Amino acid sequence: MRVALIGYGRMGKMVAECMGEREGMEIAGIVDFTCLPSLRDVSSPDVAIDFSYPGDLDDLLDAATVRRVPLVIGRTALTAEQEAKIAAAAKAVPIVSSNNFSLGVTVMRRLVAEAAAALGVAFDVEIVEAHHKQKLDAPSGTVKLLLTALDPSGNRPVLYGREGVTEKRGGEIGVHALRGGTVCGEHSVHFYGDMEELSVTHRADSRRIFAAGALRAAEFVVKQAPGLYTMEQVLFATRAG
C-alpha cells in the first residue's frame, strides 16, 4: 500500500517510523513545505494520511477528490465550515476523520456512551484532560469526541471550568483542562452518583499510538466505498450508513 504523508511534523514523522516497521506499506510521497507541494504531485498513492495544519485543507480535498485517493484526516480545531467540506468530499472518496486515532480512546468512547445511557442524568458527569504545555487548543479534540458520546443529542449544557460561587448543578457536564510539562495525553470521565463513583481513564504514553491508529484507519479506508467514517467504525468494522 502506497501512502502519501500530508504534513511532516512530529506526527508525520511518527507515521513514517511506524510504517518502516510494517510489511506491505511504503511512502508514496511527502507533502510538506520542504517536500512536495500537493497531493497532486505524489506518484500513485493508494491512500493519504493527513496530520498537517488546517490552512491547506481545501487543496488536499480537491486533489483527493479529483484523483480518487482515500483520506485519513487527523487535524484538530477544524471550523464548522471545514468539517462541512470534509463531509462534502466524502461523497466522492472514503474518508476517516478523527480528533484522536488511539484505539484505546475509541474503546473508551463506546464505554462512556454505554455508561451515560445506563446511568442517565441521575449521575453527574465531569471530564478532566491533561496535555503538555505546548498544546494550543483547549479543550482537546478528544474531549469533544467524548462529549458527543456522553450526550449525542447535545441537550446537556457544558461548563468549562468553575470559579467563584456557583449555583448547584443543573445537569451540566463539567470539563477541565490541565496543561503542563510533557504530558502526552490523559482523559478521565467521572460519573458521580449517590454514594458511588464510576471513572473511565485513558493515558497515552507516546504519540506512537496515534500513528498506529492512523495506519489501521488507512488499511480500513482503502477498502471502503465513498463515505465519512469514524474510528469506531474502523475498530468495530461497522460500515457507514
Q: Provide the annotated active-site residues.
A: 131, 135
According to the 3-state scheme, what is the secondary structure of the chain? CEEEEECCCHHHHHHHHHHCCCCCCEEEEEECCCCECCHHHCCCCCEEEECCCHHHHHHHHHHHHHHCCCEEECCCCCCHHHHHHHHHHCCCCEEEECCCCCHHHHHHHHHHHHHHHHHHHHCEEEEEEEECCCCCCCCCHHHHHHHHHHCCCCCCCEEECCCCCCCCCCCCEEEEEEECCCCCEEEEEEEEECCEEEEEEEEECCCHHHHHHHHHHHHHHCCCCCEEECHHHHHHCCCCC
